Amino acid sequence: MATKIKVAVLGITGLTGEELLRIFENHPQVEVVSVYSRTAQKLKDLYPHFKKFAHLNVDVFSIEHLKKSGAQCVFIALPHGQAMEFVPRILEAKIKVVDLGSDFRLQDIAAYEKWYQKHTAASFVPKAVYGLCEFNREQIKTAELIANPGCYVTSATLAIKPLIDADLIEKEDIIVDAKSGVSGAGREVYSDARRAQWENSFSAYKVDGHRHLPEIEQNIGAKITFTPHLLPIDRGIIATCYLKPKKGVTAAQIKDVFMKKYMHENFVEVLDKSPNLKDILGTNYTQIYFTFDANRTRLIVIAALDNLTKGASGQAIQNMNLMFGLEEDAGLKDLKRI
């Protein structure tokens, strides 16, 4: 049997940290050697359902402990502004990093500081490879630092970027109307204590500007109107994108672009009907559907994915697989629907 890749998770108590463990539990070529949080405890006390990892302790992070664990790759599953504290030391220790947060996604430091906070590791931003495998596969294979894309961003980019690259749609008047399950808002909002606030409810939020907006615009190379909504469900995203096709563009041309781009991709499916979240929850798949509106003045592209898998932890593992020369779908292709 081939030697397993040794990995660590920094930020194990969050939803994406837990999702990483769910996937690693059945990844045949990965060994989880260390996990970290602000306070030390037994991992089995935190997640008793992960029997495979019951022997692990949750430790307070130190670079010395990380090196001693033998980890070859660290997954950082922390809120924005925290990864930049750890990345320089981890990379200096010759350990690869997949950052699930936002600290290294935006190449424009001024944009990051406008939407987030002051960046204290700006010199490392140019070293980061944006981890959307469907567009940056070759760069990911040789990367030391991966900036794992956001969940809203992944759905919108996969839906829109191929059409912009093919010059089939106008770069003006792009609308992304996206709905996310509550897990996308993090552990605190998703908790039982907050459940009564979002059950049997539905609302838009951050209508005047969401932090994922500049990341989508960076990816597709166009300005957009982006409105996120919170669905009263646990997980999943549907992004409905309203686009203006260039004069004379046909449905056959749109389909040809999507099929050529995604027909050989492991985790993107182009459908002939509108996607249903139930079909992909818990998996690493994105499903895409397109149609024209009744007046044929708008192209509507719908992308559906699970915000915790393809929108976060599954995509991070997809990136890791490429970084270490594994099959891209290792540990991901047989994930069960939730």
151 catalytic residue (yes or no): yes
* CB neighbours of residue 89 within 10 Å: 13
29: CB partners within 8 A, 6+ apart: 2, 4, 5, 326, 330, 331
Q: What's the rounded Cα separation, in Å, for the pair 280 and 302?
A: 14
Strands (E), the chain: 5-10, 30-37, 41-42, 57-60, 73-76, 96-99, 129-130, 145-147, 174-180, 203-204, 224-230, 237-243, 268-270, 286-292, 299-305
Q: Interior CA angle at 200 toward 194 and 204, to 5°?
A: 80
Active-site residue identified among 73, 133, 151, 241: 151
Cα-atom radius of gyration of the chain, to the nearest Å? Answer: 20
Decide if 58 contacts 12 (C-beta within 8 A).
yes
What is the rounded CA–CA span in Å between residue 114 and residue 58?
Answer: 34
Give the whole-angstrom CA distance, residue 250 versus residue 296. 10
Angle, vertex CA 132, rays to CA 147 and CA 72, nearest 5: 50
Residue tagged 């990051």 (tokens):
112
Q: Which residues are catalytic?
A: 151
